[in-house]
Amino acid sequence: GTNELKNLIIDEAFRIQHSDQLETFYRYNFSGQSVPSVSVHDHNIEVGLRHQLYESLISAVKVNGEFKDSNTLNQRVKGASLEEDYQKHIGPSILRLGWGYKYEQERRQAEDSIINIVNENHTLIDGAVTLLNETNVDVSTIVVTDASGTTVYIKNFDYQILELSSGSIRLQRISGGSIHNGGTVLVGYIFRLDPALSFSTTQDNYRLSLGFFADSLRFYYQLRRQGHPEQEGGQTTILENFDDTITGYEWNWQNGGLSTEYENYDSNLSPYQALRFRENVGWPLSSQSRLDLYAFQNFINFEEYNQNNFEVRGDYAYRLSPSAVLNLESGYRLQKGNGVDLKNYTSKIKYRLDFRAFSLDTRYEYQREVFFGEFRQNHYFLSTFNRDF
């Protein structure tokens, strides 16, 4: 099919450095999207002040607003936030403390209970849980595109949708598809909303980390909380309250690193617990070559199902000349669990040539994938020429 889209984006930002300790900043963004039968105009503004009272203490105060108008929905958001960050060297260790608080009021007025959402922004990261902003979603209407809105991704090939019993919708990229890890996507869908809804949102976060040996060994703790102390209307709308706790450590040395992280996401909509491990090691084989190995394991337990991800990858780099580099990369990824059954093997050959202001990148990639018993083989060839001015 076809996807007709008209999109206008205006983004402006500036900051004023009044002194070494004080700066003010401002940002305004306008986004106007138009698809058949739906037109959306979205204004976002943020004004703030950042001040360094002491060498180790930085404070930031911000006020923000969002004003969104469409054929079927008017949305108004007003808020303010405060952030405090403290860093202190204590002998051979580094102590970092952080605290933040945000309060927002949001009011929605819908002309119709059936609302069309256009270009909801999400970042898809392996091992992270990404939920659509709204519940009561008509899953058959979900459309996922790239950040420009021009490329429409394919369900169960580039991404998959997991429906939770709470009514939330989880969006997840498929390794080997067209969405790269950490890629930004735009999501459109239709959901059911109460005609009038207003509520307040409070968010606070706490951060603590302690680093040793020039920060090569670091232990950290993070807590994020969200609540809605006030709500009017919206009898069928469920707002999410959560406490998100993350604890872990990172150990990095000259040739590698290890990390372990545990997350407990206690939510009334989508609670889960996650345990993540990362390992990497690398060493030079000669003055012209280097080998790096990476591994990642992720275990997520939802109320409805479990999901386990395993990934291993190797990268060999050889400098053919001062201006030419050859890279050989190979990796294997396994995903198991309800809604996920994927085996993916990938091999890449990359060649880069630099000559003064010019550079040439050429890559061939082969993928062998089994997704829910379906076998696929993908071949990609890409060549990019750059000129720096």
276 close to 250: Cβ distance less than 8 angstroms: no
> Picking from 19-23, 169-173, 174-178, which range would have the lowest pLDDT averaged per residue?
174-178
Instruction: Name beta bridge partners: 207.
Output: 98, 222
- Position 56 scores a pLDDT of 92
In this prediction, residues 255-270 reach a mean pLDDT of 93
Mean pLDDT of 330-351: 86
Distances (CA, A) of 192 to 122, 189, 234, 268, 378: 20, 10, 11, 19, 39
Q: What is the pLDDT of residue 339?
A: 63
**pLDDT, tens digit, 9 for 90 and up, residues 62-114:** 999 999 888 778 889 999 999 999 999 988 899 999 999 999 999 988 776 77
The residue among 252, 300, 256 whose CA lies nearest residue 281 is 256
- The tokens for 56 are 């180790």
The span from the CA of 387 to the CA of 241, in Å, is: 50
Q: What pLDDT does residue 3 have?
A: 60
3-state secondary structure of 338: coil
State the amino acid at position 230 in one-letter form.
E
In the structure, what pLDDT confidence band is assigned to residue 263 with cuts at 50, 70 and 90? very high
Average pLDDT over residues 112-131: 81
Which residue carries 């700066």 as its tokens? Answer: 23
- Mean pLDDT value across residues 113-141: 83
What is the chain's mean pLDDT, rounded?
89
In DSSP terms, 137 is beta-bridged to 191
Q: Strand 358-371 to strand 169-173: parallel, antiparallel, or no bridges (unpaired)?
A: unpaired
* Eight-state DSSP code of residue 237: -
* Higher-scoring residue by pLDDT: 62, 38: 62
Question: What would the mean pLDDT of 289-304 be, rounded to a whole number?
Answer: 92
* 144-161 exposure pattern, b = at least 16 Cβ within 10 A, e = fewer: bbbeebeebbeeeebbbb
pLDDT for the residue numbered 177 = 74
* Count of helix runs (H) and strand runs (E) in the chain: 0, 24
For residue 1, the model assigns a pLDDT of 52
| Closest C-alpha to 345, from 317, 382, 370, 372 | 370
Q: What pLDDT, on the 0 to 100 scale, is given for residue 168?
A: 82
Q: What percent of the chain has pLDDT over 70?
A: 97
Distances (CA, A) of 90 to 41, 84, 105, 206: 50, 19, 41, 20
Question: Among residues of the chain, what percentage have pLDDT more than 90?
Answer: 54
The band of 212, judged by pLDDT with boundaries at 50, 70 and 90, is very high
342-354 pLDDT, tens digit each: 888 999 999 999 9
Residue 299: other Cβ atoms inside 10 A: 17
**Tokens for 119?**
């270009």
